[in-house]
Structure 1
Amino acid sequence: MNEVKALAKQTVVYGLGTIVPRFLNYGILTFMYTRIFTKAEYGVVTELYAWMVFLLIILTYGMETGFFRFSQDKDNYKEVYSTTLLSLFVTSTLFVVLVFLFIDPVSSFMRYSDHPDYIKMFAMIVAIDAFTAIPYARLRRENRALTFSLIKILNVVITIIAVFFLLYWGKNIYERSDGWFRRVYNPDYGVGYVFLANLIGSASSLMMLLPFIVTTKIRFNKEIWKRMINYSFPLLIAGLAGSINETLDKIILRRMVGEERGLEIVGEYGAGYKIAVLMSLFIQMFRFAAEPFFFERAKKERARESYAFIMKYFVIAMLVVYLVINLYIKGFQYIVGSLFWDSMVVVPIVSMAYLLYGIYLNHSIWYKLNDFTRFGVYITLIGATVTILINVVFIPYYGYMASAWAHVASYLSMIIMSFIFAEKRFKIDYQFNKMVSYFVIAIFMVVFSRSINIPNIIAEIGINTLFLALFILYAQYKDKFVTTIFKGDR
Structure 2
Amino acid sequence: MAGIKSLAKDTAVYGISSIVGRFLNWCLVPLYTNVFSSGEYGVVTYLYAIVAMALIVLTYGMETGFFRFANHDRYKDAGEVYSTSLISLGCTSTLFFAVLMLFLNPVSRALDCASNPEYVWIMALAVAIDAYTSIPFAYLRFCNRAMRFAMLKLVNIGLNIGLNLFFILLCPWLLKVAPETVDWFYSPGFGIGYIFLANLIASAATLFMLLPEITGVRFRFNFTLLKEMIRYSFPLLILGIAGIMNQTVDKILLPMLVADKADAMSQLGIYGANYKIAIIMVMFIQAFRFAYEPFIFSQNRSRGEDKVKSYADAMKYFFIFALVIFLAVMFYLPVLRYFIAPAYFSGLKVVPVIMIAELAFGIFFNLSLWYKLSDCTIWGTWFSLMGLAITLLGNILLVPHIGYMGCAWAALACYCTMAVVSYMVGRKRFPIPYQLGRMGCYMAIAAVLYCAGMLVETPYLALTLFIRTVLLVFFVVIALRTERIPLPFINKNPKRGL
TM-score band by shorter chain is over 0.9
Residue number in structure 1 paired with 2:272: 270
Residue number in structure 2 paired with 1:94: 95
**Counterpart amino acid of 2:60?**
Y
Residue number in structure 2 paired with 1:260: 262
Question: C-alpha offsets along residues 4-52 of structure 1, whole Å, 9 cap, x if unaligned?
Answer: 222111111111111121111112x112111111111111111111111
* Residues 43, 265 of structure 2: 8 Å contact kept: yes
Residue number in structure 1 paired with 2:71: 72
Q: Does 1:139 align with 2:140?
A: yes
* Residues 45, 251 of structure 2: 8 Å contact kept: yes
Q: Does 1:471 align with 2:475?
A: yes
* Residues 456, 464 of structure 2: 8 Å contact kept: no
| Distance in 2 (alpha carbons) for counterparts of 1:481 and 1:324 | 20
Residue number in structure 2 paired with 1:39: 38
**Counterpart amino acid of 1:25?**
N
How far off is 1:458 after superposition?
Answer: 1.9
| Distance in 1 (alpha carbons) for counterparts of 2:105 and 2:126 | 19
| Aligned counterpart in structure 2 of residue 411 of structure 1, from 388, 398, 415 | 415
**Counterpart amino acid of 2:395?**
N
Residue number in structure 2 paired with 1:323: 327
Question: C-alpha offsets along residues 290-310 of structure 1, whole Å, 9 cap, x if unaligned?
Answer: 110111011222211211122
Question: C-alpha offsets along residues 137-161 of structure 1, whole Å, 9 cap, x if unaligned?
Answer: 0000000000000000000111111
| Aligned counterpart in structure 2 of residue 369 of structure 1, from 368, 373, 379 | 373
Residue number in structure 2 paired with 1:55: 54
Question: C-alpha offsets along residues 382-433 of structure 1, whole Å, 9 cap, x if unaligned?
Answer: 1111111100111011111111111111111111111122122101111111
How far off is 1:77 after superposition?
Answer: 0.7
Residue number in structure 2 paired with 1:433: 437
| Distance in 2 (alpha carbons) for counterparts of 1:64 and 1:228 | 10
The 3-state SS of whatever aligns with 1:213 is: helix
| Distance in 2 (alpha carbons) for counterparts of 1:428 and 1:113 | 52
How far off is 1:454 after superposition?
Answer: 2.2
| Distance in 2 (alpha carbons) for counterparts of 1:196 and 1:482 | 48
Q: TM-score, normalised by structure 2?
A: 0.94
Q: Does 1:235 align with 2:239?
A: no
| Distance in 2 (alpha carbons) for counterparts of 1:269 and 1:317 | 26
Residue number in structure 1 paired with 2:494: none
**Counterpart amino acid of 1:23?**
F
| Distance in 1 (alpha carbons) for counterparts of 2:462 and 2:176 | 45
Residue number in structure 2 paired with 1:81: 82
**Counterpart amino acid of 1:7?**
L
Residue number in structure 1 paired with 2:26: 26
Q: TM-score, normalised by structure 1?
A: 0.96
| Distance in 2 (alpha carbons) for counterparts of 1:87 and 1:96 | 15
| Distance in 1 (alpha carbons) for counterparts of 2:172 and 2:106 | 33
How far off is 1:473 after superposition?
Answer: 1.7
How far off is 1:246 after superposition?
Answer: 0.4
Work out the percentage of aligned pairs sharing the same amino acid: 42
How far off is 1:176 after superposition?
Answer: 4.5
How far off is 1:277 after superposition?
Answer: 1.0
Residue number in structure 1 paired with 2:290: 288
Residue number in structure 1 paired with 2:465: 461
How far off is 1:177 after superposition?
Answer: 4.8
Mapping of 1:112-261 within 5 angstroms? Answer: 112-177=113-178, 179=180, 181-257=182-258, 258-261=260-263
| Aligned counterpart in structure 2 of residue 312 of structure 1, from 316, 321, 336 | 316
Runs (5+) with no aligned partner, structure 2: 492-498
**Counterpart amino acid of 1:80?**
V
**Counterpart amino acid of 1:243?**
I
The 3-state SS of whatever aligns with 1:376 is: helix
The 3-state SS of whatever aligns with 1:316 is: helix
**Counterpart amino acid of 1:182?**
D
| Aligned counterpart in structure 2 of residue 423 of structure 1, from 422, 427, 433 | 427
**Counterpart amino acid of 2:29?**
T
| Distance in 2 (alpha carbons) for counterparts of 1:483 and 1:66 | 40
| Distance in 2 (alpha carbons) for counterparts of 1:309 and 1:364 | 15
| Distance in 2 (alpha carbons) for counterparts of 1:182 and 1:250 | 35
How far off is 1:466 after superposition?
Answer: 1.5
* Residues 312, 433 of structure 2: 8 Å contact kept: yes
The 3-state SS of whatever aligns with 2:293 is: helix
How far off is 1:342 after superposition?
Answer: 1.5
Q: Which moved more, 1:167-176 or 1:332-341?
A: 167-176
| Aligned counterpart in structure 1 of residue 391 of structure 2, from 361, 374, 387 | 387
How far off is 1:102 after superposition?
Answer: 0.5
**Counterpart amino acid of 2:120?**
I
**Counterpart amino acid of 1:392?**
I
| Distance in 2 (alpha carbons) for counterparts of 1:179 and 1:325 | 45
Question: C-alpha offsets along residues 170-227 of structure 1, whole Å, 9 cap, x if unaligned?
Answer: 2233334565842422023210100001111111111111111112222211000000
Question: C-alpha offsets along residues 106-151 of structure 1, whole Å, 9 cap, x if unaligned?
Answer: 0111111111110011101111111110000000000000000000
The 3-state SS of whatever aligns with 1:188 is: helix
| Distance in 2 (alpha carbons) for counterparts of 1:405 and 1:437 | 24
How far off is 1:478 after superposition?
Answer: 2.1
Closer/same/farther in 2, CA of residues 456 and 222 from structure 1, 3 Å limit: same
Question: C-alpha offsets along residues 427-455 of structure 1, whole Å, 9 cap, x if unaligned?
Answer: 11111111112112212322332244322
Residue number in structure 2 paired with 1:4: 4
* Residues 313, 481 of structure 1: 8 Å contact kept: no
